[in-house]
Each structure stands twice: as C-alpha cells, then as structure tokens.
Chain A
Amino acid sequence: AQSVAQPEDQVNVAEGNPLTVKCTYSVSGNPYLFWYVQYPNRGLQFLLKYITGDNLVKGSYGFEAEFNKSQTSFHLKKPSALVSDSALYFCAVREQAGTALIFGKGTTLSVSS
C-alpha cells in the first residue's frame, strides 16, 4: 500500500535561512510525488511535482524538491525562507495507475523574523 511520512510535525527557521521539510514515501512501482501548501482558512495549493526526469524539481514561490530514489525521499527545500512561507505543507504520492493522492500528515513551517 502507498504511504507518505512527514517525520516532523513542525519546522522552525529564521527568515533568510535555508529550509528543508522532509518527506519519505512507500509505493510499488514508479512514484508520482507532489507538494502542496495550506495557508490558514485556505485550500491546498499545488507547489510542485515529480513525475520523471531531473531529480531536482523547481516549483512555485522559489521552492524546490529533490527526488532521491534510493532513499525514497522527496524533501522540500528553499534557499532563503520568508516569513510569508509560514504555513502547513503536505507531501503526497500517487501510483501511476491509481487515482487517489495519498497525503502525509503535514508539517507546519514557522519562519521567524
């Protein structure tokens, strides 16, 4: 069965510092990986995806993620955090033939000024 793990409930970083939000996955076959962000009282917003190709994927708002097949990871990164990046981040996986997005439980990112 597919599953996604986000090992950190909360990540705290200072503005201007690099940030990493971790995600590991378990899926049979090739994984299709996604990151979404949820701001308070807002729906989930798509950030980026990995389907195939280059392991480093660039997305919205300066975020990027690195797909590592041997470690079954898809960590979200940003070189310089902004206070406005503070939100709830979800990693999700989907099997090629399936339709459901399987989400991790989410990681709250808090960026302090």
Chain B
Amino acid sequence: EDKVVQSPLSLVVHEGDTVTLNCSYEVTNFRSLLWYKQEKKAPTFLFMLTSSGIEKKSGRLSSILDKKELFSILNITATQTGDSAIYLCAARFGNEKLTFGTGTRLTIIP
C-alpha cells in the first residue's frame, strides 16, 4: 500500500528560527511530490517536485526531492508567526491519486 510519512508530527520554534520538515514515501510508480500549507481548513499549494536534486524556492520557503532515498524536505528560514500551520506532504503515484501524510503542525512563538 502506498504510504507517506511526515516528521516531526509537531514542532514549536521561536520567530526567526529555521525549520526543516521531512517527508518520506513508499513508492509504487512514483510520479511527483507536493507540499501544501493548511491553515484552518483549506490546504494551499506550495510546491510540486518531480525531479531529484532540483531545489524549488519561493521566498523563505524551499523544498527538494531525493528520489533515490525516497524523501523530501521543506525548509522555512527566518520563520514568522504567519508560518504557523499544518504542512502536508502528498505523493502522486502511478494512478495519479494523491496520498497524503498526516502533516507536521508548526507553531511559531513570537
């Protein structure tokens, strides 16, 4: 069964810190990996990664995929209170279905 595991489950840091969120997957015909930010209810899209070793960057957020070791990381530098959210990782497999991890709950303390 396709599986996505995120760690840590929760993380509390101070404003200005840098955080790294992890996502590993067990693959059956892997296609791509996506990161979403979930505040309140609706997940909002952050990144889609398909190629290994190529970093995607958006402001203070960046992400990279390692298809050999089957994991991805999401980095957030100079964290702000607005970064507090649940970060979801999802892997797309051969049938195009997204399988989500349980998420990492990030809390930024002012």
Q: Do A and B bind each other?
A: no
Give B contacts to A, CB under 8 Å: none
